[in-house]
Amino acid sequence: MAAPLPPPPDPQFVLRGTQSPVNALHFCQASQAPGSPLLFSGSQSGLVHIWSLQTRRAVATLNGHGGQSVTWLQTLPQGHQLLSQGRDLQLCLWDIAEGRNTIMDSVQLENVGFCRGSILAGGQPRWMLAVPGKGSDEVQILEMPSKTSVCTLKPEADAKPGMPMCLGLWQANSSPRPLLLAGYEDGSVALWDILERKVCSRIACHEEPVMGLDFDSQKAKGVSGSAGKALAVWSLDGLQSLQMYSTHELTNPGIAEVAIRPDRKILATAGWDHRIRIFHWRTMKPLAVLTFHSSSVHCVAFAADGLLAAGSKDQRISLWSLYPCL
- State whether 158 and 196 are in the same domain: yes
Listing DSSP states for 232-263 in one string gives: EEEEE-TTS-EEEEEEEE-SSS-EEEEEE-TT
Single residue among 109, 125, 153 that ends a domain in this structure: 109
- State whether 101 and 52 are in the same domain: yes
Calculated CA dihedral for residues 88, 131, 275, 61, nearest 10 degrees: -50
**294 found inside a domain:** no
Q: Is 82 exposed, middle or buried (0-12, 13-18, 19+ CB in 10 A)?
A: buried
User: pLDDT by residue for the chain (326 residues), tens digit each?
Assistant: 556 666 778 899 999 988 999 999 999 865 544 557 899 999 999 999 999 999 999 999 999 999 999 999 999 987 789 999 999 999 999 999 888 889 999 999 988 778 999 999 876 788 999 999 998 899 999 999 999 999 999 998 788 899 999 999 998 876 778 999 999 999 999 999 999 999 999 999 999 999 999 999 999 999 999 999 999 999 998 878 899 989 999 999 999 999 999 999 999 999 999 999 999 999 999 999 999 999 999 999 999 999 999 999 999 999 999 887 66
- State whether 102 and 125 are in the same domain: no
- State whether 32 and 91 are in the same domain: yes
- State whether 104 and 188 are in the same domain: no
* Chain length of the chain: 326
- State whether 127 and 187 are in the same domain: yes
- State whether 139 and 204 are in the same domain: yes
**288 found inside a domain:** no
Contact call for residues 35 and 45 (beta carbons, < 8 A): no
User: How far is the C-alpha of 240 from the C-alpha of 244, rounded, in Å?
Assistant: 13
For position 15, what pLDDT does the model report? 96
- State whether 103 and 146 are in the same domain: no
With a CB cutoff of 8 Å and minimum separation 6, the contacts of 33 are 52, 54
**6 found inside a domain:** no
For position 240, what pLDDT does the model report? 85
CATH at 195: 2.40.128.630
Distance of CA 178 to the CA centre of its chain: 18
- State whether 120 and 102 are in the same domain: no
- State whether 126 and 74 are in the same domain: no
- Identify the domain containing residue 88 by its residue range: 20-109
With a CB cutoff of 8 Å and minimum separation 6, the contacts of 317 are 14, 15, 16, 18, 22, 25, 39, 41, 51, 309, 310, 311
Q: How many domains is the chain partitioned into structurally?
A: 2
CATH at 37: 2.40.10.480
Single residue among 210, 241, 263 that ends a domain in this structure: 210
Pick from 309, 310, 287: which is nearest to 298 by CA?
Answer: 310
Single residue among 182, 210, 238 that ends a domain in this structure: 210
Bridge partner list, 16: 316
**247 found inside a domain:** no
For position 32, what pLDDT does the model report? 47
